[in-house]
Structure 1
Amino acid sequence: MSLLKLIGVLLDYPRDELWQHGEELLDATNDPALSRGWRAQLRAFVQDLLALDPLEAQDRWLATFDRGRAMSLLIFEHIHGESRDRGQAMVDLIDAYRRNGFELDAKELPDYLPLLLEYLAQRPQAEARDWLHHIGHIAGMLAARAGERELPHALLFEILVEAGDGKVNLDVMRQRASEEVRDDTVAAMDQLWEEEAVRFGTDAPSQDCDPPHRSPARPVNREVQP
């Protein structure tokens, strides 16, 4: 298992199959591309994950990545937000997958980071590094936010930053993360999901009838096949 494949598996929703392949995951942490210190930290991450009951691991994943947008694993959500450019970017990414002989056999959005990493794990090293370079600022911000929230996943994002070119200034991003208002609190989630009452009359603003903006659902079963 390649390093990018491993990081993608560890960032993905922890399905029951993960525990069936624990030894393979542990073996993959010995990747020579990593420093000895990072290999030890990555192995500890995997050991801690495997020590959890699957239901607890799944609950923790949902609390980490499915509450609010700050820790979203959808890359284009961080780049384009809710703009129309996001849709075109996803179309272009699907085209890139297909041009290289891959077809999405799932309901996942194409910019889902674990899915992208699985794809890059099977591409030439230079191409994968170029991709990681371009999303390095996103991986860096996710690393900073994970560190601010004392999440062990910070290590995984830092490894992705280093795999890109390591030029992202994590200190600057950590400072920014420390100043952000968290969007995964109960109050923040209530505000996100709140639907405004529809007002009728000539003074009613047109956006009152717009659907509320919500984080998209993220199915957990997916597979990329050549």
Structure 2
Amino acid sequence: MNRAESRLIHQAASLLLCYPGEDWRQRLDLVRAALEPVHGGPAGRLRTFCADAAVLTPIAAGAEYVSTFDRSRRRTLHMTYYADGDTRRRGQSLVDIKALYRAHGWQPDLRELPDYLPVMLEFAARVPGAGSRLLRDHRPGLDLLLAGLASHRSRYAAVVEAVVLTLPRPTPADRRAAGELAALGPPRESVGRLPASAVPKGTR
């Protein structure tokens, strides 16, 4: 897959992983139209999702989104949570990601934390070099998210799988890290916890 196609997949996945609003069906139509010239596995996964999700009203789509991502710490879209949990270390990870965005002249939506996967994907679409490296750095978390969605039998697994397919094959270190996260879950800390606003819903 070339860089232009990867950018398109990342932007499309970003749109699909944001909370569904009143524009839900228009968003699906936009993604389908943008993917028309693109072939291959990742685009096919996104087309499958769009076809499956088109039957949902915005209200039903919103309810499914909340039940999928906001009620399990193994299905959160806040990527630093997989490696850092709600420890003090996560605060520094968020600062580092925000600094990366700033270094490339990009200011994301301040209503979301910088590790929110749709935000990271939009950055990867805008700044493919640094953005793809950021996604690769969070490969173990992406693998755990995908496994959680597949276990939940969520249609959103197709979207995350499309993202994963744009990345290089996992290294042995990636596999070990994902295995440890799957076995132990994100780390916890009894003192110096992050403020509640920095902890993903469903993890408190």
TM-score by length of 1: 0.70
Distance between the aligned counterparts of 1:171 and 1:96, measured in 2?
Answer: 26
What are the Cα deviations for residues 94-134 of structure 1, in whole angstroms up to 9, with x where unaligned?
111112111234321111111111111100x3333322221
Is 1:102 aligned with 2:73?
no
Please say if residues 120 and 135 of structure 2, whose CA atoms lie closer than 8 Å, have aligned partners that are also in contact: no
Structure 1: where are the runs of 5+ without partners? Answer: 182-206, 219-226
What are the Cα deviations for residues 28-84 of structure 1, in whole angstroms up to 9, with x where unaligned?
33463x51x543342121122122111000000000000021101111111111111
Specify whether residues 155 and 20 from structure 1 end up closer, same or farther in structure 2 by C-alpha distance, changes over 3 A only: closer
Secondary structure of 1:93's partner?
Answer: helix
Distance between the aligned counterparts of 2:50 and 2:132, measured in 1?
Answer: 24
Residue number in structure 2 paired with 1:11 = 17
Is 1:142 aligned with 2:148?
no
Distance between the aligned counterparts of 2:195 and 2:132, measured in 1?
Answer: 37
Specify whether residues 81 and 48 from structure 1 end up closer, same or farther in structure 2 by C-alpha distance, changes over 3 A only: same
What are the Cα deviations for residues 3-49 of structure 1, in whole angstroms up to 9, with x where unaligned?
101111111111112323432211233463x51x5433421211221
Structure 2: where are the runs of 5+ without partners? Answer: 1-6
Secondary structure of 2:166's partner?
Answer: helix
User: Which residue, 20, 29, 34 being the options, matches 2:35?
Assistant: 29
Q: Report the residue type matching 1:55 in the other structure.
A: I
Which is helix-richer, 1 or 2? 2
Distance between the aligned counterparts of 2:109 and 2:81, measured in 1?
Answer: 22
Q: Report the residue type matching 2:122 in the other structure.
A: E
User: Which residue, 121, 126, 134 being the options, matches 2:125?
Assistant: 121
Residue number in structure 2 paired with 1:87 = 91
What are the Cα deviations for residues 148-185 of structure 1, in whole angstroms up to 9, with x where unaligned?
111122222222222121226899969x96x899xxxx
The root-mean-square deviation of aligned C-alpha atoms, in Å, is: 3.2
Please say if residues 3 and 31 of structure 1, whose CA atoms lie closer than 8 Å, have aligned partners that are also in contact: no
The Cα shift of 1:87 comes to 0.8
Q: Stretches of 4+ moved more than 4 A in 1?
A: 168-174, 210-215
Flag the structure with more relative contact order, 1 or 2, with Cα contacts below 8 A and sequence separation at least 6: 2
